[in-house]
Structure 1
C-alpha cells in the first residue's frame, strides 16, 4: 500500500526549443512532456524509492494513456486515477528565460477533467488506504471552484484518518481567476485559509506566505514562521524555499525549516547556480526531498539540507521531474558540487 499520496492536476507541457520565444518557435516544433506540481512530487519520491501514488482525473483518450504510462515508468502508482468522459487534459506552454529576460508560462487548462470532476466521484477510502502522507499544492484549488472544493474534501478526508498532510503553497497569480471580481490574491487567501487548518507541514517561498495568507512580509524567517504558526497552530513545521539571483540563468537557491516543537529554525547551505537548465519543478523536488527525509526519520537539519540539495539539482534537469538519485543528492549535501564526470 502506498505510503505517500499526491493529488492534483497533471498536464501536457509544451516548451519552445532552447531559449526561443513563442513567436520564433511557432509554427514549428515544441518539446512535449508531462508536468504538474503534485505529479512531479510523486515522480521524485518514486525515483527516490518511496512507495508513491498520484491521484487525479484524466479524460479517456490516447494522450492521457501516454501520461499515465509515463508516470508508471517512473514507479508511480496510478490505479486510483479517474478516467472521465467529461473534461480534457490541461496544457501549459513554456518559454524559457535567458539572461535578464524572465521565463513565461501560458496556461490552457480551463475545463480540464480534474477541474470539473466533483469530490463525490473519488473513492477516498480506496485512495487513502494505507496512506501515511498526503500531499497537495496551492495550484489545484487555483484552477476552478470545483477543484478548490475537491481539495478541501481531500485534506479533510486525510485529516479524519490522521494522515499527515503537506501543502506546497505555489501561488500562481494567473490561475486564481474563478470568482471575479475578487482579486487573485484575495481569492487565494480565502481559499488557502480554509485548507490549512487540516495541514501539518507548510511549504512555500516568502512570497507565497505573504501573498496567500495575508501575512506581513519579513526577511526574518523565524518571525515569519511564527506568524504562520500563530494563524495555524495545527502546523508542526514550516519549510521555505529561498531564491535570489541576477539573471534567469544565474541564481542562488537555499531553504529553511522551522520546527514548532523546539521553536528552532534550521537553515541549509546556499547553492550558487550559474547554468540553469530548467527551473520549473525545483520547488516540487524540494518538497519531495523534505517528505522523503521525514519518512527516513531524519533530524530537521538533515531534512532541510536534503530537500535543498534536491531542489538545487532539479535546476540541472530539463522538464518538471527531478531525475536525481538519493546518492547524487547526498553527494551534493556532503559538499561535492563540482560537477565532475563519474568514471
Structure 2
C-alpha cells in the first residue's frame, strides 16, 4: 500500500531518570509528532509511506529528515523553509506526580505553512491512503487550510482518507473552534480514530464509561454499538470507527483496550494490563498506524485488525521515544500471548 501522512514533526526534549524539566544538566532528544509517528510505524511494518512536512533548511531540519530516512520513510515531499523546528519539553510521570509538557513551537516552519506551498496533485498521485490529524488543523489557519486542500484532492481522486481526531486544546488559538473545523472534514473520511474525549468532542455524545481496575472488567458492548450507530448517521462516509480506551491506574500502570465499529458491527478486545509503562507518548499514533496496516493487510478480518492495533499500541508503552519501532511479526507474536 502507498500511504501519505502530513503534519509537524518536532524535537522532544526529556530529562533522564524521571527528573523534572527544571532539574539537571542533561537532556535526551527524540524526533516525533503524531503523523510522523504513524509514518514510521507504517514503514517499520513494510509499507510504502511518504511524509509531508515543512522543515527549516538548517542542521536540525536535516537531522530530522535523516531520522525519518533511517526508518525508510519517504522524504521527497518535505518542504524546506521557515526558521525553526518546533520543540517540546516532556517531564515523565512518576508515582504521584503526573507528566508535564512545555511547548516551544510558535512560528515554527510548519506553523507558518501556507496553502500555496504544497502541490497536492503531485503528492497524491498514485496514492492509496491519505492520513491526517486534528493537530495540524489546530496549528494555524494556514496549516489547517493546507490540510483541508489535501483532503479535497484526496476526495476527488477517490483515495481512502484516514484521520486521527487528535484534539489538543492548547492549540486552536487562531479564532476557529476544533469542532467547527473538524466535523465537516471528518464527513469525508473513511477511517477515523480517537480516544473517548475526542469522540465526545466530535459527536457531542458521551461514550460509555470505562472504570476498569483490572482485566476482568467487562465493557458494555451494547452501549458502544448504539453509540457508533448514531455516529455512523453523523459521519455516513465512515467505514471504520476506532476508539482507543485507557484507564490510568498510576504513572506506570495503565489498562488499555478498544472497540471498532465496521460494516455495521461492533468489535471489541480484551483489556491489556501494562505495568510498567516506560513511555506512553505516541500510543494513539501506534494504535491507528497498526490498524491501517492490518486493515489493508488482512482484508475483511475486522477482529484481527483491532487485536493487532491494540497489541501494537500496548507494546508502544515499552518503547522509548515517540516512534513505535516494531515489525509486523513482533506484533503478531505478542498478540498471540496477550489477546
Q: Structure 2 length as normaliser, TM-score?
A: 0.92
Kindly tell me the number of residue pairs found equivalent between the two proteins: 325
CA contact 2:249–2:255 (8 Å) conserved in 1: no
Q: Distance in 1 between matches of 2:207 and 2:269?
A: 21
Alignment of 1:64-143 (within 5 A): 64-84=61-81, 86-143=82-139
Q: Distance in 2 between matches of 1:124 and 1:247?
A: 44
Aligned-residue offset at 1:178: 2.1
2:271 alignment counterpart: 270
Partner secondary structure for residue 205 of structure 2: coil
For the pair 1:188 / 2:174, whether they are aligned, the reply is no
Q: Distance in 1 between matches of 2:265 and 2:202?
A: 24
Q: Distance in 2 between matches of 1:101 and 1:172?
A: 21
1:302 alignment counterpart: 304
Q: Distance in 1 between matches of 2:61 and 2:270?
A: 39
2:220 alignment counterpart: none
CA contact 2:92–2:100 (8 Å) conserved in 1: yes
Q: Distance in 2 between matches of 1:192 and 1:69?
A: 32
Q: Distance in 2 between matches of 1:287 and 1:266?
A: 16
RMSD of aligned Cα (Å): 1.5
Give per-residue Cα distances to partners, 1:216-266, cap 9 Å, x unaligned.
34343222222321211111110011100311100111121101x2x2111
Q: Distance in 2 between matches of 1:222 and 1:198?
A: 22
Alignment of 1:35-50 (within 5 A): 35-50=32-47
2:16 alignment counterpart: 17
CA contact 2:38–2:285 (8 Å) conserved in 1: yes
For the pair 1:202 / 2:192, whether they are aligned, the reply is yes
Partner secondary structure for residue 24 of structure 1: coil
Q: Distance in 1 between matches of 2:140 and 2:95?
A: 34
Give per-residue Cα distances to partners, 1:128-168, cap 9 Å, x unaligned.
11210111111111111111111111111111111101100
Runs of at least 5 residues in structure 2 that lack an aligned partner in the other structure: 210-222
Aligned-residue offset at 1:72: 0.3
Q: Distance in 1 between matches of 2:203 and 2:60?
A: 37
